[in-house]
Amino acid sequence: MTADAVALTRGRRGGSSSPSYGWIKLSLFSASSPAGIAARIAFFYVAIFLILGISLPYFPLWLKAQGLSAVEIGLVTSVPLFIRIATTPMIGIAADRSGSVKGVVLAGAGVAMLSALALMGVEGLWPILVLFSVFQIASLALMPLAEVVAMREVRQHGLDYGRMRLWGSLAFIAANLGGGLALAGYGAHSILVLIIAASLVTLLAGAGLPGGGGARRETGKGISLKAMMVQLARADLLLIMAASGLIQAAHAVYYAFSAIHWQALGLPETTFGVLWSIGVIAEVVLFAYAGRALKRIGALNMIAIGAAGSLVRWGAMASDPSFGLLVVLQLLHGLTFGATHLGVVHAIQERVRPDQAASAQSLHSALSSGIMMGGAMALAGAIYGPLGGLSYLVMVVLAAGGGALVLAAKQFEARSGAGRETG
């Protein structure tokens, strides 16, 4: 181990602040040191966000280049999102019951890469729909599994989750920019090539994740599916997941219609990317520096801060603010998304046994990103036409509901004594 890694490890053992590996230099650390483990997890976040940063904005253009109509493009992009509501929790349960989260990660990354490769040789709606659905189901299931691996190492080695996760956000920005350059220089067909390349990087990064064994292999005990379901149905856990889901769902109008609305307000189109980038940068900064605050105030209070930021942000957005105020409001993305995400990942991990972590994180992903965000996006589509910018007030209601559920979870745990897992 190098002198830098030894110093880092000694600092952790001596009770000093979290390891300072935010700006990771892979060559400085052994793979098994805390900083080396953090680097490997950060690289996996980079890989999966490369896929998201390319496929989300640009894959519809590849579909259009294949001759699909607008209705067919909508079908291809939406069907996998509904399917994953059921498949993501099933994959999480499989990871827990197999005892190897890493093994399921490698299987999912491999399936994603093969299905993306297969897309190069097909044409027509139905073959594309089937293969892209397989790709999305496999690739989107990797995110909650990454959270499980990251939080396991947070628990075992005292790593800072936010400083690993921020590299995913930075990779998303880079993929957006790189995808745009490839599209301009080489056309829509280059998008699938980039997705395949990102999928290969994801498979390689998955192979580098720490630990092949999960809780089952560590304890030597099988996991009862019935007992797992009982634990995951705990009231406090479901309240926390629902709270996070509502706060994140309150972004629906912003995600779907912000650019359209800014265009209607007469803002230059060149400012749209700037505004979105400010939001992501705020998120990165929060991930980098919120570790100490999280330890001080707790995960549920971090989610509550996300709810409070949402009330301010979406309430102000309803007033059609000036560009200067928009810049300030975009900084609140660090709270509305970042603080909420940081809080819920830690809250779930604190309340479930290690052998149920993949199931719990996957269930939350299906509820938040699937059911709640899907419903909120449909709601946004229905209300934006008649309400315009005032649609953000409906998002305020969603955020307020999320905040109320956080308080309900805190009160329930205070009365029942529930909370952090003890098993």
Dihedral angle over CA of 367, 195, 93, 105, nearest 10: -140
CB 213 within 8 A of CB 101: no
Spatial separation of the C-alpha atoms in residues 239 and 364, rounded to whole Å: 11
Closest CA to 411 of 423, 403, 422: 403
Q: Kindly report the CATH number that applies to the domain delimited by 3-219.
A: 1.20.1250.20
More confident residue, 420 or 46: 46
Per-residue pLDDT reduced to its tens digit, 277-327 = 899 999 999 999 999 999 999 999 999 999 999 999 999 999 999 999 999
Return the structure tokens found at 2: 């190098």
Closest CA to 163 of 46, 291, 277, 50: 291
How far is CA 405 from each of CA 244, 298, 300, 345, 392, rounded to the nearest angstrom? 9, 16, 10, 16, 20
Per-residue pLDDT reduced to its tens digit, 357-416 = 999 999 999 999 889 998 898 899 899 999 999 999 999 999 999 999 999 999 999 998
pLDDT value at position 42? 97
Return the structure tokens found at 274: 């700037």
Per-residue pLDDT reduced to its tens digit, 240-249 = 999 999 999 9
Answer whether residue 26 shows pLDDT above 70: no
Q: How many CA atoms lie within 13 A of 98 on its CB side?
A: 17
Amino acid letter, 54: I
pLDDT value at position 224? 61
Q: Which CATH class is domain 225-416?
A: mainly alpha
The whole model's pTM is what? 0.83
Instruction: Answer whether 3-219 and 225-416 agree in fold.
Output: yes
Q: How many CA atoms lie within 13 A of 301 on its CB side?
A: 7
Spatial separation of the C-alpha atoms in residues 395 and 246, rounded to whole Å: 9
For the beta carbon of residue 394, count every other beta carbon within 10 angstroms.
20
For the beta carbon of residue 391, count every other beta carbon within 10 angstroms.
25
Residue bearing tokens 């939001």: 279
Dihedral angle over CA of 386, 387, 389, 395, nearest 10: -120
Spatial separation of the C-alpha atoms in residues 198 and 387, rounded to whole Å: 39
Domain ranges for the chain, please list them.
Answer: 3-219, 225-416
pLDDT value at position 418? 63
